[in-house]
A and B are shown apart, each in its own frame.
Chain A
Amino acid sequence: MATAYEYDDATAAAANYDDQAGPQRQDLGYDPNFVPDSVKSFVVHLYRHIREKNVYEIHQMYETSFQTLSERLFKETPWPSVDAVAHYVDNDHVFCLLYREMWFRHLYARLSPTLKQRIDSWDNYCSLFQVVLHGVVNMQLPNQWLWDMVDEFVYQFQSFCQYRAKMKTKTEQEIALLRQHDQAWNVYGVLNFLQALVEKSMIIQILEQEKEGLEQFTYTDGYDYNGGSNVLKVLGYFSMVGLLRVHCLLGDYHTGLKCLLPIDISQQGVYTSVIGSHITTIYHYGFANLMLRRYVDAIREFNKILLYIYKTKQYHQKSPQYEQILKKNEQMYALLAICLSLCPQVKLVEETVNSQLREKYGEKMIRMQRYDDEAFAIYDELFSYACPKFITPSAPSFEEPLVNYNQDAYRLQLKLFLYEVKQQQLLSGVRTFLKVYSTISLAKLANYMEVDEPTLRTILMTYKHKTHAVDSEGKIISNADVDFYIDDDMIHVIESKPLKRYGDYFLRQIVKLEGVINDMDRIKLD
């Protein structure tokens, strides 16, 4: 199970982000101009494959060769600088931007970026996205790479906000640099780039038209088989997930879900073509629904993805995303535990997922449903472990005494979440009684619960309110596992009948029988 409950930057991705350590680790014998032969070969081949649109080979080099070389030669240093390799690739402007994008990603993963490097990385993303937005790019890149670009872009933004908010230990030079480059990783810039990619790619219209059979996008996994480029379209597509993520980081769950709306998550799509994208999408979707009190929606999606990860994680053991997959897996179990404690609809959860859940959080879930002080501590712990790394998007005021405010956003979300949990405190008591009785008078139940009748009436109305969520279209949907109605002063418990799905069963059997008959027809008897 997970260890670190402290809300800290330090457990991000696969490495440590100890900004206090500063840049000294990077200087250990690093010569940016030294290009080993293997790197020369790497860039030359990658450049050729990109020019020739050999997507499969690009993917191999990007996923495997880059990682192997990083592991072997650049474990603790950056790759050679782009200037050193540029002449091997005809000084191609776009290739250099792509190389630098990988260069910075490697730096963030293995080392601690300096402020200057953070700013340079921002500049690189600006140039890269502007080239793509101007529509002059004629490449086909693997979805994995395009997803990583968007994912990393948002990640570096989040990392920058966290870094910037720790004002206490900033040196004078750092403060001067921050003031000078106030456009770098500016929240408007980040959001507007993602929005521009969505708009310029026309991806929303493409997905709409696809439903009517007028476009092929999902069918080809986003790739363009007509000689064109998939880059803008797929970046636009993944930017919708990027926007969901940024909005969650800001605490705007409603708008985040709105940004994701064009993607139908009840189906496979381009978002499932890359496991990182699939997990990120569902994680944020689930979290947003949790905060919106749509517990059933969250439980359903967490259940599906956790089952999927359980079945497929073995295939990703060698991949560089493996650790991230495992981390998100654990976080989503924690979120599922929270959802099920607030909304005990256990029949929505698959057997495999349920048994994993019991193993990891069985004890804690029992204690959470007691709603005493210990319970709130556990809600706090799980939320803090599993929540996104909320950010304060505004620039710091450089005048005041320098303080660290990187935890402010998280603290607010946690506080409001626990406030909601507290409001639901009395509901589990009601549930227990409702499960036992088919009818019970208000007077009797009030007596058992040791409250007066008027208070009981309010508790029952709270139960109704909290278990009936408002969905995205304004409709009321019931999340209640146990329900009731009141007739004057009598509570009638509504028995939930087990749902028998005859329709599906018959459909399957009809198809099966047809298959058997067809097989029999094919047998020739002499």
Chain B
Amino acid sequence: MGRERDAQKPQQQQQQQQQQQQVSFTVEQLVAVNPYNPDILPDLENYVNEQVSSQTYSLDANLCLLRLYQFEPERLSTQIVARILVKALMAMPAPDFSLCLFLIPERVQMEEQFKTLIVLSHYLETGRFCQFWDEAAKSRHIVEAVPGFELAIQSYAIHLLSLTYQKVPRSVLAEAINIEGLSLDKFLEQQITNCGWSVEKGHVKGQLIVLPSNEFNHPELKKNTADSIPLEHITRIFPILG
């Protein structure tokens, strides 16, 4: 499907990637070494745009930029802030979205696009995927500006389902990841092959998707770390044992 496209001009792509890597390296260094410096604000803004286009993410750099906006509110770009927030949503279940909101002035948060993003975040935080996808469909202009958004939210949905269910009804999964019918069948095939999912027949209706076991949906897998003893403590009794 996409394979033909990838084969074209690999060298150019590689060069571009290398250049991008050099730039990101520098920005990350700046954030680590000289973060309280108003001059790096343009670099950080560019870096946000780069994160969007290259589907990468850096919480530290984005927080650094939000801080600089806090120090000099006249330089705040709502477009950049909106992009940062969308990226933060994509980082769920990490609380990055809240972390960003803590740094954004209230009057900015009152703007329409931010209110929408906060509503979207609310739906995701409370597992209301049905409402989320509805609202996201109404706000295409915000979410389609950031490639990889859909995939990231689907990934979060699956994460949440994996924490909660050993076996989840097909309809619940479909609603959570916003995929139905044949596309869902295809998706399930991929997951069965690559991620250890399996499918059963539900006793009432439809399919039951069996999610991979982890310590959160299979309590017996929970490692009892409480009784593990660090090596240093054991070394204390070596003279006695020896």
Contact = CB atoms under 8 A, between A and B. Distances in A.
B125 A485 contact: no
Query: For chain B, which range describes its interface: under 10, 10 to 19, 20 to 34, or 35 or more residues?
Result: 35 or more
A144 interface: no
Interface in B81-121: 93-95, 98-99, 101-103, 105-106
Interface string B198-229: 00001110001000000011110000101111
A487 B166 contact: yes
Contacts of B63: 252, 254-255
A441 B165 CA distance: 13
Contacts of A188: 36-38, 71
Interface stretch (A37-45, A152-160, A205-213, A468-476): A468-476
A470 B102 contact: no
Given A393-B71, A423-B122, A464-B160, A486 B166 contact: yes
Contact of B106 (A191, A292, A412): A412
B1 interface: no
B165 A487 contact: yes
Residue from A254, A408, A415, A487 having most chain B Cβ neighbours under 10 A: A254
Given A408-B106, A486-B168, A487-B165, A462 B94 contact: no
B80 to A, nearest CB: 17
A304 B63 CA distance: 31
A423 to B, nearest CB: 5
Contacts of A392: 70
Interface stretch (B136-144, B146-154, B232-240): B232-240
A395 to B, nearest CB: 9
A494 B102 contact: no
Contacts of B129: 458
Contacts of A483: 216, 219
B228 A503 contact: yes
A291 B241 CA distance: 47
Nearest to A491: B164
Contacts of B101: 416
A505 to B, nearest CB: 10
Contacts of A486: 164-168
Contacts of A500: 227
A1 interface: no
Interface residues of A, number: 60
B4 interface: no
B229 A465 contact: no
A394 B72 contact: yes
B227 A502 contact: yes
A191 B94 contact: no
B60 interface: yes
Interface in A422-464: 423, 454, 457-462, 464
Contacts of B125: 423, 462, 465-466
A282 B104 CA distance: 26
A476 B216 contact: yes
Contacts of B161: 461
Interface in B154-198: 160-161, 163-169, 172
B127 interface: yes
Contacts of B60: 254-255, 258
Interface in B46-69: 59-60, 63-64, 66-67
Contacts of B103: 250-252
Given A412-B106, A423-B125, A485 B67 contact: no
A187 B164 contact: no
Given A252-B103, A485-B219, A499 B224 contact: yes
A470 B203 CA distance: 35
Nearest to B72: A394
A486 B93 CA distance: 20
B79 interface: no
A235 B156 CA distance: 43
A525 interface: no
B237 A511 contact: yes
B42 interface: no
A233 B127 CA distance: 49
A488 B240 contact: no
Given A393-B71, A416-B98, A464-B164, 11 more contacts: A188-B71, A195-B36, A458-B126, A458-B127, A462-B127, A465-B125, A485-B164, A486-B166, A487-B167, A488-B167, A502-B227
25 contacts: A187-B36, A188-B36, A188-B71, A252-B103, A255-B63, A255-B64, A292-B95, A293-B95, A394-B71, A411-B106, A412-B105, A416-B101, A420-B98, A462-B126, A464-B160, A465-B160, A469-B95, A476-B163, A483-B216, A483-B219, A485-B164, A488-B169, A488-B202, A507-B237, A514-B237
The 4 closest A-B pairs by CB, nearest first: A461-B127, A251-B102, A191-B36, A499-B226
